[in-house]
Structure formats: C-alpha cells, structure tokens
Amino acid sequence: MADPTAYIFSNFPKNLMKGKFGDLSGAGVTVKCLLMTSDATISQEEWETLTDVNNDTHEVSGDGYTTGGAEATTKAVTEATKVTTFDADDVTWTSSTITARYSILYLSTGTAGTSYLIGYADFGEDKSSSSGDFTVAWDASGILTLTVP
C-alpha cells in the first residue's frame, strides 16, 4: 500500500496559537489516534474538536479497538535550525479485527468539545487487520513539522 496522504485540520494552527494544546510532548497532555471507516465524510475546513468526529458516527468498531482510539506514546518535540517537529511512537491495535480508511490525531482532554483535532491521514483505500496488528505508522521524519522560512 502506498504511504497515506496526511493533512492538518484548518483549525489546528488557530488553536495551537491560542494555547489549546499546551506542551504536546508534556506528561500531562494526551494525544490519541482514532480510526474512521470509508463512510466518513471528513471536513478538513470545518472540523475542530472531537465533537465533530463523533457527529459523523463512522468511527471504526471491532475486536481490539476501543472507541476514541489509542494513545500516541513517547511524544517528543524537537527543534533544529528553523524547524520544529512533533513525533510519537507508531500506534498499534494488537490482536484486532478492524477495517479503516482514515486515522485522526487529536488532543484528548476527556471532553469531546475541548479535544482539539490536529490532523488526519487518508490511507487511500481500506486497511484491515484480522486477529492481528493494525498499525498507524508515522512518517520517519515526524508526525508534524513546522518550518520557519
């Protein structure tokens, strides 16, 4: 399968600048990845919080998958000359039987209305697991990179 196409939600930069995310690599900040079926209609321009995702009602369900997704662990924010990168370990659902077309990365606060969306990936086709691992593998250079010109 080809690498997924990744996007940030249009509201992410605004919410980042308003301090909604805190320190993404901080111990008190939970970032999660959830999966959506091919029936989802993701709105990059309009979706802002987990409430928008929940209103779509096409989150994956199946053995080994928990509603709301799984936590992205070992988070890190690194800085180099004019480049800041956010990264985390790949997210895996072990011994799962699920089918997904999209993954959504978001800040999880425990409340849908304040759980702000970061970005999403389109796998280009349905991706499945059958009593095995389903892994969302981040790009080797990081999940999100911000570059200053």
Distance CA 52, CA 56 (A): 7
What DSSP string describes 100-122? EEEEEEEEE-SSGGG-BEEEEEE
Distance CA 9, CA 94 (A): 28
Phi, psi of 109 (to 5 degrees): -105, -10
pLDDT at 1: 45
What value does the mean pLDDT take over residues 76-104?
A: 96
pLDDT at 92 over 50: yes
- Reported as a single tens digit per residue, the pLDDT across 107-137 is 999 999 999 999 999 999 999 999 999 999 9
Distance CA 76, CA 43 (A): 28
pLDDT at 3: 65
- Place 61 in a pLDDT band, splitting at 50, 70 and 90: very high
> 58: domain range?
5-147
Pairing assessment for the beta strands 83-87 and 117-136 based on DSSP bridges:
unpaired
Residue count of the chain, please give it.
149
pLDDT at 73 over 50: yes
- Place 2 in a pLDDT band, splitting at 50, 70 and 90: low
pLDDT at 5: 86
70, 33 contact by CB (below 8 A): yes
- Using a 10 angstrom Cβ sphere, with 0-12 exposed, 13-18 middle and 19 or more buried, the burial of residue 97 is middle
pLDDT at 4: 77
Residues 6+ apart with CB under 8 A from 121: 4, 5, 6, 7, 102, 103, 136
Say what percent of the chain tops pLDDT 70: 98
The structural domain count of the chain equals 1
- Reported as a single tens digit per residue, the pLDDT across 9-40 is 999 999 999 999 999 999 999 999 999 999 99
Say what percent of the chain tops pLDDT 90: 95
